Structure 1
Amino acid sequence: MLRQCNCPLSCFSETRKTEMLRRILSPGWAKRLSRSVTRKILVTESSACLHGFPRQGLDATHSGMNKFQGPKCPNFKLVKDAVRKLAGDASVVLKLRKNSTVKGHWIVRFGRNKEFVGRESILEDLLKRVLPSGDEDDCQRTAIEGLGGVGKTQIALETAYRIRDVQPECSVFWVPAVDTTAFENAYRAIGQQLKVPGIDEEKADVKALIKSVLGRESMGNWLLIIDNADDEKLLFGDTALTDNLPFSRKGSILFTTRNHKLGLRLVESENHIIAVEEMSKDEALKLLGKNLKSSQMSDTRSNNALLEFLTNLPLAIRQASAYMAKEQISTARYLKLCKSSDEDMVKLLSSHFDDRHRYKNIQNAVATTWLISFQQISDHDALAADYLRFLCFLAGKDIPHSLLPPAGTLETVEAIGTLKAYAFISQQNESDSYDIHRLVQISMLSWLDGKGERQEWTAKVLERLNDIFPWPKHENREEWIRYLPHTQHALQLRKKTDDEEATTGLLSKVGESFFNLGKYKEAEQMHRQALQLREKVLGKEHPDTLSSMNNLALVLHSQGKYKEAEQMHRQALQLREKVLGKEHPDTLSSMDNLASVLDSQGKYEEAEQMHRQALQLREKVLGKEHPDTLSSMNNLALVLGSQGKYEEAEQMHRQALQLREKVLGKEHPDTLSSMNNLALVLDSQGRYEEAEQMHRQALQLREKVSKIR
């Protein structure tokens, strides 16, 4: 074969004898033997050199063949000249190989993609794996797997052309596995080129004929590329296309699939799977600029932001590039369109563009290519499909497993496995949370819209989140902090839904979460929405409506909007007295809250009177050690301090601090507030050392608690 392709080759052999026996024998034995016996040429010229090629001797022992003293060493010069000749003849040799009479069959339906960029490490790995000569004892099977649109087909296509370049005698056949017809038509085309007898007969078993022909040793080396091997029923079900895959020790089969589970069944080992992920930043930038003018990419920041938004996904980049070239807009303008609304983003993801290197009967659009996967998941794994519908309403990163609707352990494991197999979600190091591709979420929401299922699933998601999201407190802070971004995202995506009870519940919980975090503007927005919706659904005097009114007034108070807060607290108090009674805990909360906003406005006498009344009633109804009673005690002490009644204020703060330490613990935020308030009243009395000591203690504990969180 080397001679047929005129491949240049230089052979070198050792000319110095090696004294190996003298080194391994004892000194006594070495002396007894003559030098002619102990000194030998280890690899002779006839063994070291191929027949018919130039050969040269190097003045070296066997172990010194690849060791040189420097650039002026005679051995180095000989080898250097040979390497230079190889490099100089390379272009001529490649042309000769391309024009060689020894050529395999070539049935690849696409031309070479001149816009292909990057992926060099993957291509190098593939070439080592899929060359039929790589394993003399087996018919190799390799799978390229990854998310739809990540570039699997284009990598397989470039692999085919590179194999043609380096091994033109190897036949390459391309077979799409999108359906039975496409598979059989591709097999028939192979048979026609190979001139297989009976291939065009009406009742010919085309698949069996090609399997038999490619299984013959006389066929020589071949590579069979099975593209889009994604449908489990098609490959392993009734049609069982995999039964028609040939076996030959001179053959190799390369699959592209978006389903890891299916890929594993096809190649039977993780070692034979090559996972393809999004492009690197540099690769993505090169691909984006292939069809664009420099003026369209003049804004470097927009270029990078767009690629980040498109998650460096090749199909999304090609789609964006085609749209920008067609409409003659810049990356900055396209990015603005993407971010304008999810509806616009869906339209952009669904926009078709012409590409000679893709299948014409399948739309070249990100959203479209994923719709195929969505449907396959729905057909094969109902729970996985439901989980995907659920996940598309949540924030894309760090989604806790506990948020998912409950199901059987085994069913859940398999459903999650399916979504990971399609690369729609990822899981880091067996953690208890998942990430989902943002563009997948947008496409999935569009799919739900198209099927008329979005409203139904919005209600399901909100109901599930409302069930599992706890009322935010210090004790469950870690839990609601994790759930907050996902609940907030689901609320932003909601449209008209029948489950308004779940919506108002979530609005209140999210509003309270923001309030606890000190994000008062966000809290006000959520509580206002909850109040409006509850007034509409439940009426103005319903207890839940009055709770929303109270919560909103608290947020207004925290922002210094005292007049509006006072008005709302008075209204809530009046209605709670009417609906719930004067001694109901919620009524007493309104009384205490109104007194606090009066205190903030300097209306100390009215505030003190109301705080005393609230404290007395809470002690009666809830008991002296209830957290709400202690809040009243703390608030009364504050208003006493505001009036200069320091001794009584100090006494009450000490009592509140002592009881809070007992009931809530020394590190609870309310306990630390009492410690801080006591220090303030001590400071007001000129007891600076004691006040300083208490402030330092409060500061240290707050820093400690903050680090723990």
Structure 2
Amino acid sequence: MNATPPAASDSGSWEASGESSVAVNANAGIISTGPGATIYTAPAVQLPPAQGVTGPRGQSNHNLPRPPSALFVGRDDDVTRLGTALAAESEPVTRILVGLGGVGKTSLTLQYAHRYRAAYTTVWWITADNPDAITAGLAALTSRLLPHLATPATTNALAEWAITWFQTHPGWLVVFDNADDPSHLAPVISQLDTGRHLITSRRTAGWHHLAAPLRLDVLSPNDAAELLMRTAGRHNVSERLVVAELAAELGHLPLALEQAGAYVHNHAISFAAYLERVRRYPARMFATAYAGSTDRRTVARVWRVTLSTIADRDPLAVEILRTLAWFAPDRLPQELITRIDDDILAVDDALALLAGYSMITLARPNLRVHRLVQAVARTADPADPLRTEEAILVARDRAARILLDSLPGGGGSEGESGGASIAVPQWEEWRTLRPHIEAFMDLVPREEDSADIAVVLHETSRFLLDQGHVTQAARYSERALSARERVLGSESPDTLSTRNQLGNIYRAAGDLGRAIPLYERTVADRERVLGADHPDTLSTRNYLANAYRDSGRVDRSIPLYERTLADRERVLGPDHPETLISRNNLASGYRDAGDLPRSISFFESTRDRAEQALGQDHPRTLLFRNNLATAYEAAGDLDRALPLYERTLGDRENLLGATHPDTLTTRNNLAGALQDSGGLHRAIELYERTLTDSERVLGLEHPRTLLVRSNLADALWQSGDREGARSLWESVLADSERLLGDDHPDTLLVRSNLAGALFGTGDAERATELWQSVVADSERVLGTDHPDALLARGNLARVGHSVELSERALADCVRVLGDSHPRTLTARRDLALAHAAAGDPMCAIALCEAAYHASVQVLGADHVRSRAIRSSLAGLLRGLIVRVPPFDGGASRKVLLNGG
């Protein structure tokens, strides 16, 4: 069959040529060809003039697809906002409601349309996801207004008539629901200028020539929980917590909440059971519509359509979305995603496309992804070609590489020597990256950790340790060690590096029972794999010596310090920074052993070498100067300690800043020295300033912040504010037990201080209970001969002035610490006071005199311990029993040292 169009000069008739052909200029019936065919034709339909047809009235002035929802929760303000936006006096008015699929745009619009239907002459609902649907929606109005039309016209003709009707009948509202492309609506809206247009769309971009979009967000946590319970038909108060947890897991997305609530209701399971199912079987749960529902939409189905559209336009956008699924949903730096492809402009376009379909939200310099979008994007589904298991694993590996490449300071730089602290200027970068690392690690099974993931874990554990998050640091380091042993082998240098780091974390946690064996094994392995003189071997040996010192095993720490120093001098040179660290640590060992003259000599030589080799203002030089001041203070030489602290504090403020952690360390120590010298008012001011800065810079829960709070309590006690000190120690103990654990040395120290405060305020019974627990825990955790355990036993003996316990405490001090150690001198004084309390003043005076002379000889007459013993002796000579606080200065306050 062929038909030839008329020539330009013809009148408009058509001619047919060929067997069984026809030619028709206009048709309103059926045409068939072939042998014996019958041809029926009818004239074109003539529709009545639109302006003469009245619109629907009363309850029939709409075609809204559903009644208002009985489950409409938490959107009243949004309905009001929408009504205000549509109430502008000028016409036409176009408003565009945009948001993620499933967020409730259609439900909100439907609720508004029902609530304000009487305000419009006609409310007409059109599905607008494609041009044909828009045309059909307009044509449906004509069919409604002309129900007795005997012969149907074409859909296009009916739609054109509807447009004419809208133009001649003002006061209407037309809803274009689920519009996908602004260009599909523009030709229609441009002709409709006598009413209101309300558009809903997942797309946020491309509407600027029509109107500024109004964004609809997810429900508030409370409203989300309410919707979940209403849908499930339950309001059990006891389930509130798990309901809130489930609502958060579903990202407070209305569609997901209704889907979950209906499942809970129809399957008669608990909210907790649904939460377990959605975590265990995400693909199936996201794709399951509830039984009996006429609405077959589910989270997976709604977003699959959107993802297919995005994939057709830009496959890179889908790759990016699968990668984003492995990070935290909020505050993700956009610059991280630029690492996904070398073509930055292509990445920009892909992100814009994802944002245009509400799959992400761009809020430069960050972006945000709904947590359920992430959950679907990283969940394999055999029925979805965009979510194959292979594609998802590729995205996971890509996310790991992005994290590795984004590590502040460069991924994989795992230097250990001289302390492995993260540079302070990098802290903010780490804090930005940390939630995304944590989200990634929570999603990846431990047994699937790769070499890249192990590096991220290792480096993050270093930052967490710096920030005082010891428990999480240990968890990450243990996981990194497991991954490296599996992937690289137990003797790989990287594996040994992680094992060394794990030892550092255990030591910081006060878990010397695990730290020391781990260090010992790592030293042996490094000596075998790397050699005895390798810098990393020497580093671990240094850390092992630190752990021995912490455990009170001076007989093992000092020889190891001395050996490591000799080796570093030989291998690295006498003025190498790591050699100077070894000298510093050996000096600290002598200080803790009570050999103050040798400690001071080593600290002084270390400072002098550092000033010559590194310079007067080098951070390491200031570190050694701070530690030298602590040795002067321990020796009671405040005339040298105070000026050195003052100078070091000024230099650190100038070089590092007033709130740098090292500056805060020196300010804390200066406050302690002022406290010992009688400058109590200024000491309290410095402690308070240091505490404020520590809380802001390090955080309320950092171990150093807790120590400064404890030191402030000690100063308040000395100033006479007994209740203030007691209350502060109570709060510090609660925080220490919660953050560090009951057995951490710092926790035991604070518990001992609180016991002293309780004793001093008359609560001897509770004080005794606390000291008994300190003795038991110190002996169990640190060992019976640890200096802190000796101190705890001494404090317990002093509570009851027990001669027997005091003699045992003195004997232990002499055996473990030596006859002239400062704590041994105090133990002699305590034994004297016990004899006095037992009614033997002559013996008490003799013992106290001996203790005083020994203290003057070792520490000097002006040392705080010498003064305390002299005060006790004076009281005995006056025939009085002097009851000194069971925790003298130096026992309760902790000086902060720098160095590795």
Whether these two folds match at TM > 0.5 is yes
Count how many residue pairs are aligned between Structure 1 and Structure 2.
583
- 2:261 is matched with 321
Query: Which residue of structure 1 aligns with residue 305 of structure 2?
Result: 372
Q: Match for residue 342 of structure 1?
A: 279
> Alpha carbons of 1:215 and 1:118: their partners in 2 closer, same or farther (altered >3 Å)?
farther
Q: Deviations over 1:639-685 (max 9, x none)?
A: 222333322211222344566688599796x7776455434433432
Q: Over residues 48-100 of structure 1, what are the superposed CA-to-partner deviations in whole Å (9 max), with x where a residue is unaligned?
A: xxxxxxxxxxxxxxxxxxxxxxxxxxxxxxxxxxxxxxxxxxxxxxxxxxx99
Q: Secondary structure at the match of 2:95?
A: strand
SS at match of 1:644: coil
Which of residues 373, 376, 379 in structure 2 aligns to 1:446? Answer: 379
Determine whether 1:161 maps to 2:114.
yes
TM-fit CA distance, 1:148: 1.7
Give the corresponding residue for 2:563: 613
Q: CA deviation at 1:456?
A: 1.3
Q: Which residue of 2 aligns with 1:5?
A: none
Take 2:463 and 2:277, find their aligned partners in 1: how far apart are those partners? 28
Please name the residue that 2:68 is paired with.
112
User: CA, structure 1 residues 199+604, in 2 after alignment: closer, same or farther (shift >3 Å)?
Assistant: farther
- Alpha-carbon deviations, 1:416-462, whole Å to 9, x = none? 4344444444455x4x2333322222222225784212221111111
TM-score (norm 1): 0.71
What is aligned with 2:122?
Answer: 171
Contact 1:405 1:464 in 2 (8 A): no
Which is further off, 347-356 or 576-585? 347-356
Name 2:197's counterpart in structure 1.
253
Please say if residues 447 and 483 of structure 2, whose CA atoms lie closer than 8 Å, have aligned partners that are also in contact. no
Task: Give the Cα–Cα distance (whole angstroms) in 1 for the partners of residues 336 and 575 of structure 2.
Answer: 35
Structure 1 equivalent of residue 215 of structure 2: 275
The aligned runs of 1:389-404 (5 Å cut-off) are: 389-404=322-337
Q: How far, CA to CA, are the matches of 2:326 and 2:280 in structure 1?
A: 15
Q: Letter of the 1:685 partner, please give it.
A: A
Shift of 1:260: 0.8
Q: Could you state the TM-score of these two structures normalised by the residue count of structure 2?
A: 0.57
Give the Å deviation of 1:153. Answer: 0.5
Match status 1:545 vs 2:495: yes
**What letter is aligned with 1:224?**
V
Q: 8 Å contact 1:150–1:277 — kept in the other structure?
A: yes
| Residue in 1 that maps onto 2:366 | 433
Query: 1:292–1:524: structure 2 CA closer, same or farther, 3 Å change rule?
Result: closer
Q: Which has the higher contact order (CA 8 A, sep 6+)?
A: 1
When residues 671 and 321 of structure 1 are mapped into structure 2, their CA distance, relative to the original with a 3 A threshold, is farther
Give the letter aligned to residue 584 of structure 2: N
Write the mapping of 1:215-226 to structure 2, written as runs, cut at 5 A.
Answer: 215-216=164-165, 217-218=167-168, 221-226=171-176
Q: How much identity, in percent, do the aligned residues show?
A: 25
**2:176–2:197 Cα contact (<8 Å) kept:** yes
The CA distance in 1 between the partners of 2:493 and 2:477, in whole Å, is 15
- Once residues 286 and 525 of structure 1 are traced to their aligned partners in structure 2, the CA distance between those partners, rounded to angstroms, is 36
Please tell me the residue identity of whatever aligns with 1:351.
Answer: T
Question: Deviations along 1:555-605, whole A, 9 cap, x unmatched?
Answer: 233334445433333333333233333332112212222333333444434
The Cα offsets for residues 309-358 of structure 1, whole Å up to 9 and x where unpaired, read as: 544432233223323332445xxx415642677335665544313687xx
Cα deviations by residue, 1:6-37 (Å, 9 ceiling, x for unpaired): xxxxxxxxxxxxxxxxxxxxxxxxxxxxxxxx
**How many Å separate the matches in 1 of 2:253 and 2:493?**
51
Q: Supply the AA of the counterpart residue of 2:500.
A: N
- 1:227-278 CA-to-partner distances (Å, cap 9, x unmatched) read 1113x4xx64xxx56545571332433210111104435x2x32xx222223
Q: Which ranges in structure 2 are unaligned for 5 or more consecutive residues?
A: 1-54, 414-420, 650-663, 669-689, 699-900
RMSD: 3.9
1:526 maps to 476
- State the alpha-carbon separation in 1 of the partners of residues 129 and 69 from structure 2: 21
For structure 1, the residue ranges without an aligned partner over 5 or more in a row are 1-98
- Structure 1 Cα separation of the partners of residues 238 and 332 of structure 2: 37
Instruction: Give distance in 1, aligned partners of 2:284 and 2:522.
Output: 47
Q: 1:585 to 1:383 in 2, by over 3 A?
A: same
**1:446/1:198 CA distance change after superposition, 3 Å:** farther
Q: Cα gap change, 1:377/1:665 in structure 2, threshold over 3 Å: closer, same or farther?
A: farther
Q: 1:627 to 1:126 in 2, by over 3 A?
A: same
Match of 2:208 among 255, 264, 271: 264
Moved more, 473-482 or 177-186: 177-186
| Contact preservation (8 Å) 2:338, 2:344 | no
CA gap 1:118/1:557 in 2 versus in 1, 3 angstroms? closer
Alpha-carbon contact 2:136-2:159 (below 8 Å) kept? no
Instruction: State the match for 1:583 in structure 2.
Output: 533
One-letter amino acid of the counterpart of residue 277, structure 1: D
Contact 2:67-2:114 within 8 A present in 1 as well: no
Counterpart in the other structure of 2:398: 460
Residue number in structure 1 paired with 2:95: 142
User: Does the residue aligned with 1:686 lie in a helix, a strand or coil?
Assistant: coil
2:442 to 492, 495, 517: 492
Cα gap change, 1:281/1:590 in structure 2, threshold over 3 Å: closer, same or farther? closer
Counterpart contact for 2:56–2:122, Cα < 8 Å: no
CA contact (8 A) 1:338 1:345 kept: no
Change (3 A) 1:149 1:659: farther
| Conservation of the 8 A alpha-carbon contact between 1:171 and 1:223 | yes
- How much has 1:546 moved relative to structure 2? 1.9
1:287-686 mapped onto 2 (5 Å cutoff): 287-291=227-231, 293=233, 295-297=235-237, 299-301=239-241, 306-328=246-268, 333-335=270-272, 337-338=274-275, 342-344=279-281, 347-353=284-290, 360=295, 363-406=296-339, 407-426=342-361, 430=364, 432-446=365-379, 450-452=387-389, 453-470=391-408, 471=413, 473-475=422-424, 476-495=426-445, 500-562=450-512, 564-657=514-607, 663=614, 674=624, 677-686=627-636
TM-superposed deviation, 1:544: 1.5
Q: Which amino acid aligns with 2:255?
A: L
Give the Cα separation in 1 of the matches to 2:616 and 2:377: 47
Q: CA deviation at 1:510?
A: 1.9
Distance 1:606 1:264, change over 3 A: same
> Does structure 1 retain, via aligned residues, the 8 Å contact 2:204–2:356?
yes
1:394 aligned counterpart, secondary structure: coil
Q: Is the 8 A contact 1:342 1:442 kept in 2?
A: no
- Identify if the C-alpha distance between structure 1 residues 665 and 366 changes in structure 2 by more than 3 Å, giving closer, same or farther: farther
Question: 569-578 or 294-303, which moves further after superposition?
Answer: 294-303
Give, in angstroms, the shift of residue 393 of structure 1: 1.0
**SS across alignment from 1:215:** helix
Aligned residues of 2:135 and 2:159 also touching (Cα < 8 A): no
1:565, 1:597 within 8 Å by CA — same for their partners in 2? Answer: yes
* Counterpart-to-counterpart distance in 2, 1:667 and 1:375: 59
How far apart in 1 are the matches of 2:82 and 2:402? 45
**Distance (whole Å) between structure 2 residues aligned to residue 601 and residue 672 of structure 1:** 27
Distance 1:121 1:290 in 2: 20
User: Cα 1:339–1:294, aligned 2, differ >3 Å: closer, same or farther?
Assistant: closer
Q: Is the 8 A contact 2:526 2:536 kept in 1?
A: yes
